Amino acid sequence: MINRDLEVNPIPLLIGDMASGNDGNKKLQLYSYFRSSCSFRVRIGLNLKGLEYEYKAVNLVKGEQHSPEFKKLNPIGYVPVLVDGDVILSDSFAILMYLEEKYPQHPLLPSDLHKKAINYQAANIVSSSIQPLQNLAVLKYIEEKLNSDEKLSWVENHIGNGFAALEKLLKDYAGKFATGDEVYLADLFLAPQIHAAIKRFNLDMTKYPLLLSEIIRLRSSFLSQYAAIKYHELGLELKSQCILCANIFAKYDWVVRS
Ligand SMILES: N[C@@H](CCC(=O)N[C@@H](CS)C(=O)NCC(=O)O)C(=O)O
């Protein structure tokens, strides 16, 4: 069951006001789209490590990922892309592992070997067995070749299979967060995926109580970062950032702190 008494300290929102963790004068650059769960993973990692970065918005709905300029950075046409001086990286897992080694502050992985492997496993269930099957390009293809009803049952089936596996995997490890009482890699992959399942696909999360409680615990920190990015991209004030969170959790009768 969901434990509604659990509280966590909000992770500070660091857009435009971050501690500099970069060497040299070059600021990290992140090419990102606010709704992209893969970008969201990296934004959380950067924020946890307190790294300053320049936000480069790529509007996936307008097709900016297919522009020749963007494809010079990532020929496959996906966000996120991280640019660190001469280093250009374009996969959220690779980016996070790079950041982890270069900026060891706030480790994204536990030192315990077994727990570390569970983090890799959970992250890869999301990044290999869920997200690619509900990516924009895949859903567009299904909608065009089949129809919208097929699209929805496709999404429910694939996200559902992944979530059911994650519920089983994490039940022996979860604490305040997915693999214990610290935020680790698994959380960085889980939170945006659960968020997408609720917000984008309206999935019934009551079937996955462990995952639902995970997102509830993380709501005030990760989701406010998501919302802030959205407002940031739209050039609006950040003070409205919790509206989005409130909309998401109203469904679960959960009052979100503003
Ligand atoms: N394995 C890659 C996947 C990247 C990916 O699928 N990005 C999505 C957004 S979450 C995208 O850019 N989609 C654009 C499209 O489908 O046209 C990662 O983890 O970064």
Q: Give the count of beta carbons closer than 10 Å to the beta carbon of residue 144.
A: 9
What's the token pair of residue 113?
Answer: 């070997």
Atom 5 of ligand 1, nearest CA residue: 78
Cβ 224 under 6 angstroms from ligand 1: no
How confident is the model at residue 5, as a pLDDT? 33
Which residues make Cβ contacts (< 8 Å) with residue 56, sequence separation at least 6? 29, 30, 31, 32
CB of 79 closer than 6 A to ligand 1? yes
Best CA proximity match to 11, nearest among 177, 160, 189, 225: 225
Which pLDDT does position 85 carry in this prediction?
96
> Which two tokens mark 218?
């993380």
Q: Is residue 80 reached through a cis peptide bond, with omega within 30 degrees of 0 on the bond before it?
A: yes
Q: What is the pLDDT of residue 121?
A: 98
Extents of the domains making up the chain: 113-250
| pLDDT confidence of residue 76 | 95
Listed in sequence order, the DSSP H helices in the chain are 37-48, 68-73, 92-102, 113-124, 136-145, 148-170, 185-199, 209-218, 224-234, 242-250
Q: Give the whole-angstrom CA distance, residue 107 versus residue 138.
A: 34
Phi and psi at residue 91, to the nearest 5°: -155, 130
pLDDT, residue 194, reads 87
Distance CA 169, CA 118 (A): 8
Return the SS3 of 178: coil
CA distances to 171, 187, 224 from 257, rounded to whole Å, are 28, 21, 10
Please give the model's pTM, rounded to 2 decimal places: 0.82
User: Please, what's the largest Cα pairwise distance for the chain?
Assistant: 52
Residue 214 pLDDT: 72
- Please provide residue 47's backbone torsions phi and psi, each rounded to the nearest 5 degrees: -65, -40
Q: Is 137 in the pocket of ligand 1 (CB under 6 A)?
A: yes
pLDDT of amino acid 229: 59
pLDDT number for residue 14 = 40
* Stretches in the chain below the pLDDT threshold 50: 1-22, 236-258
* Contact assessment for residue 55 and residue 27, using Cβ atoms and an 8 Å cutoff: no
121 contacts 169 by C-beta, under 8 angstroms: yes
Relative to the CA of 78, which ligand 1 atom is closest?
Answer: 12
Q: Which of 216, 221, 255 is nearest to 241 (CA)?
A: 221
Per-residue model confidence (pLDDT) at position 250: 40
Residue type for position 143: E
Write down the CATH number for the domain with range 113-250: 1.20.1050.10
The string of pLDDT tens digits covering residues 136-145 is 889 988 988 8
Query: If you measure from the C-alpha of residue 135 to the centroid of ligand 1, how many angstroms do you get, rounded to a whole number?
Result: 7
